[in-house]
Amino acid sequence: MSSRTPDVLVIGGGIIGLVTAWRAAQRGLATAIVDPEPGGGAAQVAAGMLAAVTELHYGEQTLLGLNLASARRYPDFAAELTEATGQELGYRRCGTLAVALDADDRAHLRELHALQRRSGLESEWLSGRECRRLEPMLAPGVRGGLRVDGDHQIDPRRLAGALVTACERADVVFHRTWAERLRVEGGRAVGAVTTDGTELSAGQVVLAAGSLSGRLAGVPDDVLPPVRPVKGQVLRLTVPKRYAPFLSRTVRAVVRGSQVYLVPRESGELVVGATSEELGWDTTVTAGGVYELLRDAHELVPGITELPLTETRAGLRPGSPDNAPLIGPTGLDGLLLATGHYRNGVLLTPVTGDAMAHVLTTGELPDEARPFTPRRFAAALTEQSA
């Protein structure tokens, strides 16, 4: 990129900021990112499930449309990113098995199955015996399950690393520092001031700072994204070669009301997640969090206690009031958002990159992203105050 003012400044170099910058640069926009550690953020903790079908929730059918659109793009997206960087992403089309351990879990899963069918999604009900035939390490008490062959996984750390490389190769400029304040002049966002006082300028500014997006100084209150941190504790274990294949697909369950999932990578890593805690900015790994995850995972797959525990970590999901992302222009000229992806940041990476590149070049959101305009919250605020 030349030394001219960039067309786009992306605040935040997590996977959403990176994909936005990469796609914008591919469309010929001179693009810069400001982030002290590009490729960091929630992707360093996330398990990387691409679970549009198994993570379907009541009231989230609109989000389902975006999730499915992104899931459909994943094969081409992953192939293109690998081609651009030479880096493997751990994209594994392994499917998912959601199982029930008792009568309550079974009833819950039956409801989910009915909702999936009403939504036209593919999932198959299996008996406990059929589940164990697919995954012999499952506990003998498994009462039944849902086989979802379309829900896959990717390694988010590899994804983040590849996106950094792709951006570098596309001449995206990296400012490795924090953005402290949005610059607004004449009623328009024109850049950011970094912690060392440097003034960065750009034609358009994208705020993509994950759970930190609501904290940037200088953003007028009426366009500040209503994003909050939702803590997730996640464990990483290793499957020694003598136990492989320990699991051949993602296995998940709701145990006593808490989600637990086990995501087996081809590398032998087994990711176990995740707590969901509304504790503000706290990222402490707690004995209670680790205990609950291991206890629930052990009920599902008793052999897990034999595996080396290699990492415990907590991250912050960027939660939004309706659990859906905020994508596109705000009420402040020149300021766009790509944030609030909550549980689906990894899944929504391809579609977010495409939507942001589209809106940055044309000024319009593509049809599939329109329901996710940040302006939906501004409208709600106006109605409340009327």
Residue in this structure with the two tokens 């008792």, named with its chain if needed: 102
- Rule CB under 6 A: which of 261-280 touch ligand GLY? 273-274
Q: How far is the CB of 259 from ligand GLY (least distance, A)?
A: 7
- Residues 6+ away with beta carbon under 8 Å from 3: none
With H, G, I as helix, E, B as strand and everything else as coil, classify residue 223.
Answer: helix
> Is 183 one of the binding residues for ligand GLY (CB under 6 A)?
no
Nearer to ligand GLY, 131 or 348 (CB): 348
- Residues 6+ away with beta carbon under 8 Å from 322: 376
- d(CA 66, CA 375) in angstroms, rounded, equals 17
The pairs formed by 111-117 with CB atoms below 8 angstroms and a separation of 24 or more are 112/54, 112/56, 112/146, 113/146, 115/56, 115/58, 116/53, 116/56, 116/146, 116/148
Q: How far is the CB of 261 from ligand GLY (least distance, A)?
A: 7
- Rule CB under 6 A: which of 54-93 touch ligand GLY? 55
Q: How far is the CB of 221 from ligand GLY (least distance, A)?
A: 28
CB 113 within 8 A of CB 123: yes
- d(CA 44, CA 29) in angstroms, rounded, equals 28
Nearer to ligand GLY, 345 or 374 (CB): 345
CB closest to ligand GLY, residue no: 343
Binding track, positions 308-327, relative to ligand GLY; x by CB under 6 A: ---------x----------
> Is 341 one of the binding residues for ligand GLY (CB under 6 A)?
no
What is the layout of strands, in order, in the sheet containing 204-207?
Answer: 173-175, 31-34, 8-11, 204-207, 335-339, 326-329
With H, G, I as helix, E, B as strand and everything else as coil, classify residue 96.
Answer: strand
If we measure between CA atoms, which residue out of 125, 130, 120, 119 comes closest to residue 106?
125
Q: How far is the CB of 1 from ligand GLY (least distance, A)?
A: 34
CB 386 within 8 A of CB 80: no
- d(CA 35, CA 243) in angstroms, rounded, equals 40
Nearer to ligand GLY, 24 or 49 (CB): 49
Q: How far is the CB of 292 from ligand GLY (least distance, A)?
A: 14
Nearer to ligand GLY, 31 or 54 (CB): 54
> Is 49 one of the binding residues for ligand GLY (CB under 6 A)?
yes
Nearer to ligand GLY, 49 or 146 (CB): 49
> Is 343 one of the binding residues for ligand GLY (CB under 6 A)?
yes
Q: How far is the CB of 318 from ligand GLY (least distance, A)?
A: 11
Nearer to ligand GLY, 175 or 343 (CB): 343
Nearer to ligand GLY, 147 or 343 (CB): 343
CB 312 within 8 A of CB 237: no
Q: How far is the CB of 8 from ligand GLY (least distance, A)?
A: 28
* Residue 304 burial (10 A CB sphere; 0-12, 13-18, 19+): buried
- Residues 6+ away with beta carbon under 8 Å from 118: none
Binding track, positions 97-116, relative to ligand GLY; x by CB under 6 A: --------------------
Nearer to ligand GLY, 274 or 356 (CB): 274
Q: How far is the CB of 166 from ligand GLY (least distance, A)?
A: 24
- Rule CB under 6 A: which of 365-384 touch ligand GLY? none
- d(CA 127, CA 351) in angstroms, rounded, equals 35
Q: How far is the CB of 365 from ligand GLY (least distance, A)?
A: 24
Binding track, positions 202-241, relative to ligand GLY; x by CB under 6 A: ------------------------------x---------
Q: How far is the CB of 39 from ligand GLY (least distance, A)?
A: 19
Site size toward ligand GLY, by CB under 6 A:
7
- d(CA 372, CA 354) in angstroms, rounded, equals 14
Nearer to ligand GLY, 273 or 329 (CB): 273
> Is 52 one of the binding residues for ligand GLY (CB under 6 A)?
no
- Residues 6+ away with beta carbon under 8 Å from 65: 368, 371
- d(CA 309, CA 2) in angstroms, rounded, equals 47
* Chain residues in the site for ligand GLY (CB under 6 A): 49, 55, 232, 273-274, 317, 343
